[in-house]
A and B are shown apart, each in its own frame.
Chain A
Amino acid sequence: MDAEHADIDDRLRALLAERLQLDAGVRVDEGASLLDLGLDSAALLSVVIGIEEAFGIDVPDREITIENFGSLGSMSSYIAGRRAS
Chain B
Amino acid sequence: MRGRPSTVAAMFSSTVDRVGDRLALVDGSERRTWDELAGDARQLAGSLQARGITPGSGVAIVLGNDRAFVTTFLAVELLGAMAVPLNPLFTPEELGRHLAGCEVAGCDVVGIVAEPDLVPVLRDRPYTAPGRRHPWVEDFASFDNATSHTAAFHDVTVDPAAPALFAFSSGSTGTPKGMIRTNRNLAAEADQFAATVDVTEDDVILAVVALFHAHGLGNALLAAIRSGAPLVLGRFERDATLAAIKQERVTLFPAVPFIFHSLAETRRAQRADLQTLRLCFSAGAPLSQATFDLFHDRFGHPIRQLYGCSEAGSVTINLDDDATGSWDSVGRPMSGIDVAVIDDDGVCHARGATGEITFRSDALTAGYVAEGESANEMFDGGWFRTGDLGRLDDAGNLFVTGRTKLFISTSGFKVDPFEVEAVIRAQPGVADVVVVGAQGDRGEEIVKAVVVRDDPEADESPLRRDLLAACKAQLAAFKVPRIVEFRDEIPRSPLGKILRKYLV
A31 to B403: give the CA distance in the assembly, Å: 42
B455 contacts A61, C-beta separation under 8 Å: no
Q: Which residues of B contact A6 (CB under 8 A)?
A: none
A24 touches B454 (CB 8 A): yes
Q: Which residue of B lies closest to A49 (CB)?
A: B265
Bound form: Cα–Cα A58–B266 in Å: 9
Within 8 A of B (CB), among A27-54: 42, 45-46, 49, 52-53
B377 contacts A by Cβ under 8 Å: no
Inside 8 A of B239's CB, which chain A residues have their CB? Answer: 60-61
* Contact (Cβ within 8 A) A23 B258: no
When chains A and B are docked, how far (Å) is the Cα of A61 from the Cα of B242? 12
Interface of B is mostly: helix
Contacts of A49 in B (CB 8 A): 262, 265-267
- Smallest beta-carbon distance A22→chain B, Å: 10
Given A23-B455, A42-B258, CB of A52 within 8 Å of CB of B266: yes
Complex interface: chain A residues within 8 A of B237 (CB): 61-62
Please report whether the interface of chain A is mostly helix, strand, loop or mixed according to DSSP.
Answer: helix
Count of chain A residues with Cβ under 8 Å from any Cβ of B? Answer: 13
A60: chain B residues at CB < 8 Å are 239
- B267 to A61, Cβ gap below 8 A? no
Within B449-487, the residues touching A (CB, 8 Å) are: 454-455
Interface residue tally on B, bucketed by range: 10 to 19
A59 vs B143: C-alpha distance when bound (angstroms): 38
Complex Cα distance A35/B126, Å? 31
Residue of B nearest to A58 (CB): B268
Q: Which residues of B contact A42 (CB under 8 A)?
A: 258
Identify A58's interface contact among B262, B265, B267, B431, CB under 8 A. B267
Q: Could you tell me which B residues sit within 8 Å of A by CB distance?
A: 237-240, 258, 262, 265-268, 431, 454-455
For the complex with contacts A45-B262, A49-B267, A52-B266, 8 further pairs of A-B residues with Cβ separation under 8 Å are: A23-B431, A23-B455, A24-B454, A25-B455, A49-B266, A53-B267, A58-B267, A61-B239
CB<8 Å pairs between A and B, sample of 6: A23-B454, A25-B455, A49-B267, A52-B267, A53-B267, A61-B240
Residues of chain A having any CB pair with chain B under 8 Å: 23-25, 42, 45-46, 49, 52-53, 58, 60-62
Q: Closest 8 interchain pairs by CB?
A: A61-B237, A49-B265, A61-B239, A23-B454, A58-B268, A52-B267, A61-B238, A45-B262
